[in-house]
Structure 1
Amino acid sequence: MEKLKVGVINLGCDKNRIDSEIIISSLSERYNMTNDPKLADIILVNTCGFIESSKQESIDTILEMSKYKEKYKCEVLIATGCLTQRYGNELLELMPELDIMLGVNDYNKLLSSIEEVLLKKIKVQYCSYSDENINEGKRVLTTGTYSAYIRISEGCDNACTYCAIPNIRGKYRSRKIENIVQEAKELSEHGCKEIILVAQDTTRYGIDLYGKKNLHTLINKISKISGIEWIRVLYCYAEEITDEIINEISINDKVCKYVDIPIQHISDDILRSMKRKGRKNIITENINKMRKNIKDLILRTTLIVGFPGETQENFEELKQFIKETKFDKLGVFKYSMEDGTEAAEMKDQISEEIKVQREEELMMLQQNISKEINSKKVGKVYRVLVEGFNGKTYYGRNYEMAPEVDGTVFFESDKVHNKGEFIKLKVTKALEYDLIGVVYYESCE
């Protein structure tokens, strides 16, 4: 008897992607996988429920996939992830098209749930909450074998007033160093060259398990693995950066001199209202310390505009800070009023019109900063990780670029270059976010 086919659609952040990769690995032991929903007997949507736009995308995707039950082969429609964890019964009532709904701590029930639905023709739902469970296990990479994310912890203790993550993912809990290193070794054995460490807050890694921040130790151990050439660290809280972390990034040749510090705002009034631990003086001090001690450092941040009570004065302070600090990479989000968060109950909510205006102002400001920074790279030589060919030019990333959120390096070559290959490129032209170059050395292994 031919195996049933399963299609998996991942939405949301890179931590969700890791969950999807674990899910795919589990499903592939029993079913055949397909990227075409028209051919799928079972369709699974791993949802995001972080902000309003991502919730709407998740709902729209589920509704779109439900049509495949009517028109094509699909017998079982499954929703998993943050949206299902957050809304549970409410979502199942609103979307009777769903056959199975699992929360973020219930992926171990996936195979048995599918069998139950197929045999008994009933609906199945599990949305348990956990402050202990961490999804670990074999993965099927969806990023290409040369690059992979590794989740080093789950959950969050920061309780920011705008964020629903602690209610969805639970308290902060670190994975054991030996488990993470073993996962990195296995990925390396399958051709992975770039490891990207992620968590809600990577800088606090180990504090629950080892009684101290231990990110620098973890980075050092991963760097000893043969085959791993780039280690990238995302989502560091600026106020939590330690001298040990700065030193490890500085001296370790395998660590990309790239740090993502999502500061969200710089006005102490807004940071206080957000219940962020950092304040302007600490954030500024640590940024200066990192730039002083890490040569050729690239700093990325994300900001929220239109938070309740954000005055024009607060916004102007943020703009001035961006002008002075000149982040290499910067993203902006409009504040989203989320159910069950403190900020949703606050007075002085900002109109959508003002949010859009402030977002556009910051992005235009950053575009000019980025173009200025990039223009200074013309003539420089970079090591580039090749990611593909679009029919005319090759494209890839240098150490300054994290996947999907930053720019791209484009180049032409008479030779064939494979995905995951490292080459050296000389920059010939700089755009606002992307770079164009020519091959400097055909190989730099």
Structure 2
Amino acid sequence: MKKNTVDIITLGCSKNLVDSEKLMKQLEANGYKVTHDSENPQGEIAVINTCGFIGDAKEESINMILEFCQAKEEGRLKKLYVMGCLSERYLKELQMEIPQVDKFYGKFNWNELLADLGKAYHSEFAIERHLTTPKHYAYLKISEGCDRKCSYCAIPIITGRHVSRPMEEILDEVRLLVSEGVKEFQVIAQELTYYGVDLYKKQMLPELIDQMAKIPGVEWIRLHYAYPAHFPTELFRVMRENPNVCKYMDIALQHISDNMLQKMRRHVSKDETYALIEQFRKEVPGIHLRTTLMVGHPGETEQDFEELKEFVRKARFDRMGAFAYSEEEGTYSAQHYEDNIPQDVKQQRLDELMEIQQEISADLSHAKIGKEMKVIIDRMEGEYYIGRTEFDSPEVDPEVLIKAEGNSLRIGSFYQVKVYDADDFDLYASLV
């Protein structure tokens, strides 16, 4: 057990990761040595940052907590703290069920942990953090919470109302990160398009991205988690006019049939969705769209599912994820609908949808053979350098593999490559 060492374990999304990175910076400012997601945690203190989004994520968080409780019982750990979405949502229950945890914090009061350790919160480091990503990219969280009331989603229950960060503060953070060597920014929020509505009384995402793009040293900006209703179309111009704004949009559409969009309370219609996709592709030539879809929401008929399959075939998304509905207590769905679609039907629909997409992904990948592209190198693995194009976000999207033999490439640098082969997901390229 290493004295004055804290192990931080982050579960769930990149928004959680940013919180962990901020906590790490504060702990280091107070003289602790901090590890993140260590294979072999040995610190005397552990902090688990939990996810509470869907069933599987909750289970993973609980199992991780229990694993560390056991380490504590065996004397391999002195103190165990838990923070994040799961403990925000089930604080009372967790305190009763797992008394071995020294203290549970929610999603927003984690800095109280410092006081409980007898340490101070250093406000001069408010926008600083200890990056856990490779040095050349960072996640940039521009807001918290969500005002959308989608039927199936527990996020607003966990995180509360939408709260935007002031634009100047975000831009200061970008400048700071650039000075530390960050070239690529993954802009994240529960819902990007709502940015600024609370602070400035209008959607300010286009303005923010425009300002960010003008900061010297910002090479790539990529946008994550937009909402289709009332999309701020001024963003198209910003993407077109700024070469460092990646032609990439992660926009969760969830479904296409009007019946389901209504039941899911998405405030958008089938026709509007098709029109938005068309507009994206017309206004930002070459854009790559990533989406997430859901199957098995209460009330989804065979007819609805057929429409969804047709949508996937027609829209030909560059990137697509899908998941099966899982009932979350407290949500509109849980209160008003019966979760009446059998698990095996949900799974079958999910498999069918992903199979259609896999073919599309393979087609789109193979269409890139012979093309020249700019890539950033993330790491070396086995006999390959692994890079990404502007159309690929870390950890979720395809990668570009470049043979290491005969090349000496720098991690975090950009190179022009030519694609010579592709499989269903990844591209193989050589230096130009």
Q: Same fold (TM over 0.5)?
A: yes
Distance verdict in 2 for CA 1:4–1:255, change over 3 Å: same
The reply on whether 1:96 has 2:102 as its aligned counterpart is no
Partner of 1:65: 68
Would the aligned equivalents of 1:38 and 1:73 in 2 still touch at CA under 8 Å? no
Partner of 1:172: 162
Give distance in 2, aligned partners of 1:436 and 1:36: 30
Would the aligned equivalents of 2:239 and 2:246 in 1 still touch at CA under 8 Å? yes
After TM superposition, the runs of 4+ consecutive aligned structure 1 residues lying more than 4 A away are none
Q: Secondary structure at the match of 1:178?
A: helix
Pick one of 406, 423, 437 that aligns with 2:397.
Answer: 406
Q: Which runs of 5+ in 2 are unaligned?
A: 120-124
Would the aligned equivalents of 1:153 and 1:174 in 2 still touch at CA under 8 Å? yes
- What is the letter of the counterpart of residue 15 of structure 2? K
- What is the letter of the counterpart of residue 108 of structure 1? N
Would the aligned equivalents of 1:239 and 1:286 in 2 still touch at CA under 8 Å? no
Q: Secondary structure at the match of 2:90?
A: helix
TM-score, with structure 2 as normaliser: 0.95
| Deviation for aligned residue 1:3 | 5.2
- What is the letter of the counterpart of residue 33 of structure 1? V
Partner of 2:417: 425
Segment drifting more, 47-56 vs 281-290 = 281-290
Give distance in 2, aligned partners of 1:72 and 1:22: 28
Matches within 5 A, 1:202-351: 202-345=192-335, 346-347=337-338, 349-351=340-342
Q: Secondary structure at the match of 1:235?
A: strand
Would the aligned equivalents of 2:7 and 2:41 in 1 still touch at CA under 8 Å? no
Aligned residues: 421
| Deviation for aligned residue 1:74 | 1.1
The reply on whether 1:373 has 2:364 as its aligned counterpart is yes
Give distance in 1, aligned partners of 2:326 and 2:224: 22
| Deviation for aligned residue 1:415 | 2.6
Residues 326-367 of structure 1, C-alpha deviations (whole Å, 9 max, x = no match): 000000011011011121231252111011101100111100
TM-score, with structure 1 as normaliser: 0.92
Matches within 5 A, 1:35-184: 35=38, 37-71=40-74, 73-115=76-118, 137-184=127-174
Q: Secondary structure at the match of 1:332?
A: strand
Pick one of 407, 416, 436 that aligns with 2:428.
Answer: 436
| Deviation for aligned residue 1:76 | 0.5
Give distance in 1, aligned partners of 2:339 and 2:293: 19
Instruction: Note the aligned Cα RMSD (angstroms).
Output: 1.5
Q: Which runs of 5+ in 1 are unaligned?
A: 117-134, 441-445
| Deviation for aligned residue 1:72 | 5.0
Segment drifting more, 198-207 vs 318-327 = 198-207
Residues 218-238 of structure 1, C-alpha deviations (whole Å, 9 max, x = no match): 011111111110000111112
Q: Secondary structure at the match of 2:429?
A: strand
| Deviation for aligned residue 1:183 | 0.5
| Deviation for aligned residue 1:37 | 4.7
Distance verdict in 2 for CA 1:311–1:6, change over 3 Å: same
Would the aligned equivalents of 1:153 and 1:199 in 2 still touch at CA under 8 Å? yes
Residues 35-62 of structure 1, C-alpha deviations (whole Å, 9 max, x = no match): 3554210001100000000000000111
Q: Secondary structure at the match of 2:418?
A: strand
The reply on whether 1:390 has 2:393 as its aligned counterpart is no
Would the aligned equivalents of 2:327 and 2:339 in 1 still touch at CA under 8 Å? no
